[in-house]
Structure 1
Amino acid sequence: MSTHASGLTPLPQPQPKLADHVLDLFSLKGKVASVTGSSSGIGLAVAEAFAQAGADVALWYHGNPKAIEHAKTLSEKYGVKVKAYKVSITSSAEVEQTIKQIVADFGKLDIQVANAGIPWTSGPLIDVEGDEDWHKIIDTDLNGAYYTAKFSGQQFKKQGSGSLIFTASMSGHIVNIPQLQAAYNAAKAGVLHFARSLAIEWAGFARVNTVSPGYILTEISNFVPIETKKIWWELIPVGREGQTKELVGAYLYLASDASTYTTGSDLRVDGAYAAP
């Protein structure tokens, strides 16, 4: 009998049962989705898109309790179950407990989006006193993604299925200018390769992919001076920042049965910034 290169998985694997209609392939009805960092910005937009597609949704927040209001609004608007969970993404124990609670509350976990992250605002790395700023970025943007992956992956393995989607960044592909953000770039590059590695490890039971946004109009970039944004616009081939609604299709594809043969992939949604 032929086996996979790992020696662990008999070949061939059974084919998935897929809907005939393309719109049904993109439906999330009957699925449970969990989105970290979803009290605002990209995470909230993704959570709403999943609710629109029929999924029950778990919202994760830390310092922004508006997620509780968002959960109520999304549930009433789209007729799905939505709950908010307060979590420190830098705590392995809290992440583990939250995923267990989500499974207890919803019955399962089909989709996990590891989206929580913070920007680097401290400037040139060697000019920063101490290591606190570096550790804050790595702990949130990389270690937080690791904790989310580890414990959602354990649930996926129990179920025999699941889709993990990381929010990476074009900054994992290129070095941004004029702002200097080596720590953030390193963290996001780590997320990209971590995801590819997990896609191989989990090929027998779950899919792992990434979305790499470019400059997106969210609260996370409100601190950026207009002079810097003008440079961005000149460097982005389409000449503008993106909207969160222009991202959600990528996440929906990777979450849905439309992408059952897609794993280990990255979708850049950056107005061609990283293309040249």
Structure 2
Amino acid sequence: MSSDEIKSYCNPELGPLPTKYTPPNKGILDLFSLKGKVASISGGSAGLGFAIAEGYCQAGSDVAIWYNSTPADDKAKYLEEKYGVKAKAYKADITNADDVKEVINEIKKDFGKIDIFVANAGIIWESGPLIDELDLSKWQKLIDVNVNAVFYCAHAIGQIFKQQGFGNLIITSSMSGSIVNIPQPLAAYNTSKAAVKHLAKSLAVEWAPFARVNSVSPGYISTKMVEYADKDLVGKWCQLTPLGRLANVSEIVGVYVYLASDAASYTTAADIAVDGGYTAV
């Protein structure tokens, strides 16, 4: 069925659909290619963020990786030399809306466009029960990084996507945005991840004429974000996860590649859990 036929069938009286529709005309493996695309990843210099950046480079994308305090120019150089793509590192304070907008505009100028933006940067709650916490600045910091910064990124990149007429926003949420994982007290973290998951769904509807928006909800991953936990706690996490272990960071990347690619051209407003089955029980 042609694009015009699909538009006519779906909207016989209202005229053309508000979104562009181009039926895939490539084999499935070609649809997963990111060659010719430009991806920008906040929190892209370490952990899951860097794994996403490397996965995108393997799929052919140019990448802009963000860092806060530790320079990442060497990591950008590594990606360029190993995968033959363009890669550049950008310092940004993601909790400052003006700084976020400035960096995104700089990336657009340097690369010519931005096809994919991954709002990945985040922090974990390392205190005790929220109700017992006397230092409320800890709550504010977590919300600033995990929620407000994601909105600042979305607000800035959304304007570019709208101008371009295309774009793809992927937000890193967490299984903690869907369930209350135990036994550690994570009310603040859970709240922040539920917020950005719903932000992704809401923006997907608002941006349907020009961009797709989805979120990914990882489970427990073997990264520095779990180093605060003692062995008994990690053992409990594994016990509660049907697959019985933490994820290797590389096991999460495939979902980000899918959502960034043309293979996901009909996927928007989705939240994909990659949690070893944790949220199923």
Using the size of structure 2 for normalisation, the TM-score is: 0.93
2:76 to 45, 48, 71: 71
Which residue pairs with 2:31 in the alignment? 25
Give the Cα separation in 1 of the matches to 2:22 and 2:222.
37
Give the Cα separation in 2 of the matches to 1:268 and 1:120.
20
Which residue pairs with 2:227 in the alignment? 222
Q: Residue 40 in 1 paired to residue 46 in 2?
A: yes
Q: Secondary structure at the match of 1:156?
A: helix
Which residue pairs with 1:105 in the alignment? 110
Q: Residue 11 in 1 paired to residue 40 in 2?
A: no
Which residue pairs with 1:208 in the alignment? 213
Cα offset for 1:64? Answer: 2.3
| Contact 2:18–2:209 under 8 Å retained in 1 | no
Q: Percent identity?
A: 55
Cα offset for 1:197? Answer: 0.4
**In the alignment, residue 63 of structure 1 is paired with which amino acid?**
S
What is the 5 A alignment of 1:187-202? 187-202=192-207
| Contact 2:19–2:208 under 8 Å retained in 1 | no
Q: Secondary structure at the match of 1:264?
A: coil
Which residue pairs with 2:55 in the alignment? 49
CA spacing shift, 1:57–1:13, aligned 2, 3 Å = closer
1:254 to 231, 240, 259: 259
Count of residues in Structure 1 that have an aligned counterpart in Structure 2:
273
Give the Cα separation in 2 of the matches to 1:229 and 1:26.
34
Give the Cα separation in 2 of the matches to 1:9 and 1:154.
26
Q: Secondary structure at the match of 2:278?
A: coil
Which residue pairs with 2:176 in the alignment? 171
| Contact 2:117–2:170 under 8 Å retained in 1 | yes
Give the Cα separation in 1 of the matches to 2:119 and 2:143.
14
Which residue pairs with 1:152 in the alignment? 157
What is the 5 A alignment of 1:86-97? 86-97=91-102
Cα offset for 1:9? Answer: 8.6
Cα offset for 1:12? Answer: 7.2
Cα offset for 1:13? Answer: 4.7
Name which of structure 1's ranges 9-18 and 176-185 shifts more when overlaid on structure 2: 9-18
In structure 1, runs of 5+ residues without a counterpart are: none
**In the alignment, residue 54 of structure 1 is paired with which amino acid?**
G
CA spacing shift, 1:70–1:13, aligned 2, 3 Å = closer
Which residue pairs with 1:122 in the alignment? 127
Q: Deviations over 1:159-208 (max 9, x none)?
A: 10010000000000000111101110000000011110000000000000
Cα offset for 1:274? Answer: 0.5
**In the alignment, residue 154 of structure 1 is paired with which amino acid?**
Q
Q: Secondary structure at the match of 2:280?
A: coil
| Contact 1:235–1:273 under 8 Å retained in 2 | yes
**In the alignment, residue 217 of structure 1 is paired with which amino acid?**
S
Cα offset for 1:244? Answer: 0.9
CA spacing shift, 1:13–1:161, aligned 2, 3 Å = closer
Q: Over aligned residues, Cα RMSD in angstroms?
A: 1.8
After the TM superposition, which parts of structure 1 deviate over 4 Å for at least 4 consecutive aligned residues? none
